[in-house]
Structure 1
Amino acid sequence: MCRAIAADPALVRRYTWTDRLVAVVSDGTAVLGLGDIGPRASLPVMEGKSALFKQFGGLDSIPLVLDTTDVDEIVETLVRLRPSFGAVNLEDVSAPRCFELERRLVEALDCPVMHDDQHGTAVVLLAALHGACAATGRDLPALRVVVSGAGAAGIACARFLVAAGVRDVVVLDSRGVVDADRGGEKALPAAQTNPRGVRGGLAEALAGADVFVGLSSAQLPEGLLATMAPGPFVFALSNPDPEVHPDVAARYASVVSTGRSDFPHQINDVLAFPGVFAGALDAGARRITEGMKLAAAEAIAAVAADGGAVSVDRIVPSPFDPRVGPAVAAAVAQAARRDPQVSAGR
């Protein structure tokens, strides 16, 4: 086999595991609920992620924790290691470095790269919104959405909702509504949306809003829920403590979701990332595109709606539903094959 690969490097896909191997890469600077704990302390999380790849996507993976926060060094390290893996899942890298790091790796590597904290969350959120709209008879593009939190997940979710056709998205950070004057990554969603020019803080943003998406530690006072549009959707996704307790939110909201497994409608990335990477690798894709992620969200929503099962009590499928991973992988692969720019030409 070694001689065969030396004569034809493409045979490495047939004779080694690299074609189905995902590198789970972190510097340990933004571990969920723990913050900057460093690479060694983050390793159990990365090992857990690898187990999820195998269980839900049928993919081999290897956790790689790097003892550096320098973007140049991380990029160089992964470029040197490229012959050993087929895709890169970035995990728990702090903002705003995570945006630059992902962009640089996409440019430097000829394989799929995705920061799951950004895009996995965005994919499942969009799937949940599709389900909530189907259950309540609402139109996705017409929703007024408020995203509380302008970190990696918040900015990615805002951008992705805009890509999906939502026209009115207001993003807030600790200083209030983010506008285009902020500069950097935070300015991009503000420049693309917020057509009503909302300014101020959470109170101003939530007045008449249809959807609250919580991706920060900021609390959502009960009084502000009463100012939203009738029957809103409340997605309080912070872990371990949601921005508002689901029982409180349910007094006003038609649909309530959290990021926790002990409450209904968990927005769990495991619904997305195993199938996204499996589909990308199945298709020989060099990139994970917006179209592939949109296809993933639609596939998750379709599984929830299969047989008319979608309702205000079930807007996303269970993470343990065996249909989810294959459905997402098939949809992502199909989307990738329709786009010749992402094909590896296998």
Structure 2
Amino acid sequence: MTKGAFTPNAGDSIIVRLKIEGQTQGLSQVTSRIAELNGHIGAIDLVRPLSGWASIRDFSIYTSGADHGEEIVAALKKVKGVEVIHFSDRTFLMHLGGKIEVTSRQTLKTRDDLSMAYTPGVGRVCTAIHQNPEEVYKLTIKRNTVAIVTDGTAVLGLGNIGPQAAMPVMEGKAMLFKEFAGIDAFPICLDAKNADEVVAAVRAIAPGFGGINLEDIAAPHCFEIEKRLQEELDIPVFHDDQHGTAVVVSSALINSLKLLGKKPEDIKVVVLGAGAAGTACTKMIKQLKVDNIIACDRKGAIHKSRDDLNEAKQWFADNTNPDGLKGSLQEVIAGADVFLGVSGPRQLSVEDIKKMAKDPVV
């Protein structure tokens, strides 16, 4: 990639509303200036024409980040015959007011509708469920509702940012449930200080949900929370950061090895990240008969000689790295067939990949 080049991504895009004097020259000046600053124009929409060949237009521009977007806007303000009316971050626009809402499946247009949906008719339905608790799955939303539960301690690559800051991610996950599976999901963001508080809160709300999706809860207490909830609740409990990631990674690995003609028992896998995702991925990969797995954390390879491991990382020391390799990621990556990154960004360089085996999978 040349300097300033990037892969366009709607997540880093802006929309700029401009008043442009002179239809041809003004428009060409704007597009040229954006191109000079390595902005990618996604769309140009006419808002309305003005007298004298002037116009107001919206420019959707892909940028490399917030600073790049501000640089483009500042440059457009200096273009002669162009007025920047306003500009917005398209991603923030999508999040205004939140991304999800509760809607009714039944309409309330008459007094009869109200009498059946609410009191007095609803009391008969409550009695039916009380007499036969299994009826809750037929007569309420429980059968199609999932709680997306987080404490905000391990959100994306942002770390421990708290339950309120985690809300946009949980709303996004709720959208995925609804749009791709038709399941109603709702964010439950807990201000909890430990595993006991999370377990107690989820146990208390569980009667209203058909399943629990644990999300962005830091290791190692995420393992305890999942285990205890699976033992205590009578509904499915799924930790997306563990099992969702592991399923996708395992299927990708199976297909990659088929394509390359390699056998699971013959490959070397390096896993960067020993948190929830790294642990679950490693456990599932081992079930594919992959034995030579080396996990790395911030201090390098995890091995039995290290004395700074918590319970979760001790599992890696006991069950992976059969040759007892020591050293940094850059050292143990040599000869690896597969690199699995479940940590932060920009950890693997081109030089690292060159050290890997032929036809590496990253």
SS of the residue 1:63 aligns to:
strand
1:80 has 2:204 as partner: yes
CA distances 1:97-122 after superposition (whole Å, capped 9, x unpaired): 21221122112212111111121111
1:32-111 matched pairs, under 5 angstroms: 32-111=156-235
Among 209, 212, 229, the residue aligned to 2:339: 212
Q: Structure 2: how far apart are the matches of 1:84 and 1:213?
A: 37
For residue 183 of structure 1, report the CA deviation from its aligned partner: 4.2
Q: Which has the higher strand share?
A: 2
SS of aligned partner of 1:233: coil
Give distance in 2, aligned partners of 1:216 and 1:3. 51
Matched, 1:26 2:133: no
Q: Is the 8 A contact 1:29 1:36 kept in 2?
A: yes
Q: Distance in 2 between matches of 1:227 and 1:93?
A: 34
Equivalent pair of 2:246/2:280 in contact (CA under 8 Å): yes
Structure 2 stretches of 5 or more lacking a match? 1-124
Residue identity matched to 2:296: L
Q: How big is the shift at 1:164?
A: 2.5
Output aligned runs, 1:174-253, within 5 Å: 174-180=298-304, 181=306, 182-217=309-344, 219-234=347-362
For residues 144-159 of structure 1, the aligned pairs below 5 Å read 144-159=268-283
TM-align CA RMSD: 1.5
**Percent of paired sites with the same residue:** 47
One-letter amino acid of the counterpart of residue 220, structure 1: L
Identify unmatched segments of 5+ residues in structure 1.
235-346
Which whole-Å CA distance do the structure 2 matches of 1:74 and 1:54 have between them?
25
Q: TM-score, normalised by structure 2?
A: 0.62
Q: Given that residues 162 and 193 in structure 1 are in contact (C-alpha distance below 8 angstroms), is that contact kept between their aligned partners in structure 2?
A: no
- Name the CA distance, whole Å, in 1 between partners of 2:137 and 2:265: 42
Runs of 4+ in 1 over 6 A off after TM superposition: none
Residue by residue, what CA displacement relative to the aligned partner does 1:237-262 show, whole Å, maximum 9, x if unpaired? xxxxxxxxxxxxxxxxxxxxxxxxxx
What is the Cα deviation at residue 173 of structure 1?
Answer: 0.5
- The alignment's TM-score, normalised by the length of structure 1, stands at 0.64
Aligned letter for 2:358? Answer: P
Taking the aligned partners of 1:143 and 1:58, their CA distance within structure 2 comes to 39
Partner in structure 2 of residue 127 of structure 1: 251
SS at match of 1:130: helix
Instruction: State the Cα deviation string for residues 27-48 of structure 1 (Å, max 9, x = none).
Output: 1121113222211121121111
Larger RCO, structure (CA 8 Å, separation 6 or more): 1
The 1-side partners of 2:303 and 2:234 are apart by: 35
Cα deviation, residue 163, structure 1: 2.2
Secondary structure at the counterpart of residue 158 of structure 1: helix
**Residue aligned with 2:130, SS:** helix
Aligned amino acid, residue 357 of structure 2: A
Q: Single out whichever of 188-197 and 88-97 deviates more from structure 2.
A: 188-197
Count of residues paired in the alignment: 234
Amino acid across the alignment from 2:192: T
What amino acid is aligned across from residue 347 of structure 2 in structure 1? Q
- For residues 304-327 of structure 1, what are the alpha-carbon distances to aligned partners after superposition, in whole Å with 9 as ceiling and x for unaligned? xxxxxxxxxxxxxxxxxxxxxxxx
Query: Helix, strand or coil for the counterpart of 1:194?
Result: coil
- 1:170–1:190 Cα contact (<8 Å) kept: no
